[in-house]
Amino acid sequence: MYLLIALAFALISFPCFANDKNAAIFIRHGSVVFSEVVPIKDFEDDLKGGSEPVPGNHALTYNRLEMGFGWKNFELAHFMREDYVFEFTPDTMNIIYWDKNKKKIPEGTYDAYLKAQHVKAEGWRVGYRFALSQDSLVRVSVNYLEAEELLYGAIGGSVNVMDDEIKGGNLGVLYYYEEDYLLDRPPVIPAEGKGYSFDVEARFHLQGGWQFDLNFYDLFGEIDWRDAPYTKGTVASTSTYVDSNGYAQRAPMMTAVESYQNFTQKLPTFYQLSATKKLYGPLGISYMREKYDSVEFDRLFLLCDLAGDFYFKAGYDFTMSATWVGLESDAVSLNIATDDWSLVGAKSLVLRFNGRWIF
């Protein structure tokens, strides 16, 4: 579980496109970690000793660091990214928490489901900017990815608990991996993955002080893995035995196939949509919706122009319950957000930085 917090989520606020000079060097970095069920620190501690999970279905992190060079309308950048997405039922997280902390598991039938997707890759982005008008721009990019550390798949079904033990259930599992965490398969030959995706970013300035940003990342994205290790199996309550007291007991029995096969990992499309309006004097307001996989983030900001082209941003993310502050300009920007500024019990953390030197 420590991997969930290792690196976090990223994609950067839209950089300044328009300039009168021909060349630019830029760096863009962003991190976001979000957990619905327990604080981020608890994941780092493998859920041991932390607070009991609250109801929730998602935990994710998306991270990207990009450094590049621009010449007129072209951009070439090298990037590194790592992201995790976990989707689960509340029952699943509770069982994991009780097991990690050696707590008694209440008797009953539990809805078990866990889906995991990991992307760790580096590669190159080639982008081209189209000027639709003096204030409206579109940039289209093609990304080439070389990936490693495969983890993708799901386990789902139900489990029955009696006498503080899982006595049966019906589960199906299919997942691809670098290391088999479920059945401790002996070391496998790791797969190599290569992939691609497309990005489309657009900014429109309209009359009345309106600005719209429409950004879509990893459109039609996929990673093709050759000879990927995988496990496909089922768990069912079909094994019966007699215990020391002479009572018949039923225990789960698993049948599984462990092998290698080619596999295509589809990348979730990530989008950012925002509308900004000048209000009065230096003040403005902005609304943003951001989505990664199946999680949507809704944010509202108050903007205030400062000296030069700098402006201050303060807002709130309603999904993360996070307070957001930022300082932005054409050349540099920094954004930070969290639901707990002490970071001890934080369930969300955002850090984004952009720098651009035009010459």
User: Can you give the pLDDT at residue 227?
Assistant: 95
Range name among 12-21, 244-253, 280-289 with the lowest pLDDT average: 12-21
* Structure-model confidence comparison of residues 303 and 235, the more confident one: 303
Averaged pLDDT for residues 344-351: 96
User: Can you give the pLDDT at residue 287?
Assistant: 98
Residue 181 and residue 191 in contact, taking contact as beta carbons nearer than 8 Å: no
pLDDT tops 50 at residue 306: yes
Q: Measured between alpha carbons, how far is residue 185 from residues 115, 178, 254 in Å?
A: 19, 11, 14
H helix intervals, 84-197: 90-100
pLDDT tops 80 at residue 48: yes
Averaged pLDDT for residues 86-94: 96
pLDDT tops 60 at residue 301: yes
**What mean pLDDT is reported for the chain?**
88
Query: How far is residue 337's CA from residue 323's CA, in Å, rounded to a whole number?
Result: 5
H helix intervals, the chain: 2-6, 40-44, 90-100
Range name among 89-93, 239-243, 331-335 with the lowest pLDDT average: 239-243
pLDDT tops 60 at residue 59: yes
User: Can you give the pLDDT at residue 310?
Assistant: 94
pLDDT tops 60 at residue 15: no
Long-range Cβ contact pairs of 351-354 (< 8 A, separation 24 or more): 351/8, 351/29, 351/30, 351/31, 351/32, 352/10, 352/12, 352/13, 352/29, 352/30, 352/31, 352/326, 353/12, 353/27, 353/28, 353/29, 353/30, 354/12, 354/13, 354/15, 354/26, 354/27, 354/28, 354/29
Residue 173 and residue 159 in contact, taking contact as beta carbons nearer than 8 Å: no
Residues in the chain: 359
Query: How far is residue 202's CA from residue 210's CA, in Å, rounded to a whole number?
Result: 14
pTM for the model: 0.85
Tokens in use for 196?
């691609």
Percent of the chain's residues with pLDDT above 90: 71
pLDDT tops 80 at residue 252: no
Q: What is the pLDDT of residues 187-201, one digit of tens each?
A: 899 999 999 999 999
Q: Is the dihedral of CA 242, 243, 246, 249 positive or negative?
A: negative
Band (135; pLDDT cuts 50, 70, 90):
confident
User: Can you give the pLDDT at residue 237?
Assistant: 64
pLDDT tops 70 at residue 253: no
pLDDT tops 70 at residue 6: no
User: Can you give the pLDDT at residue 269?
Assistant: 87
Label residues 163-172 b or e (16+ Cβ within 10 Å = b): eeebebbbbe
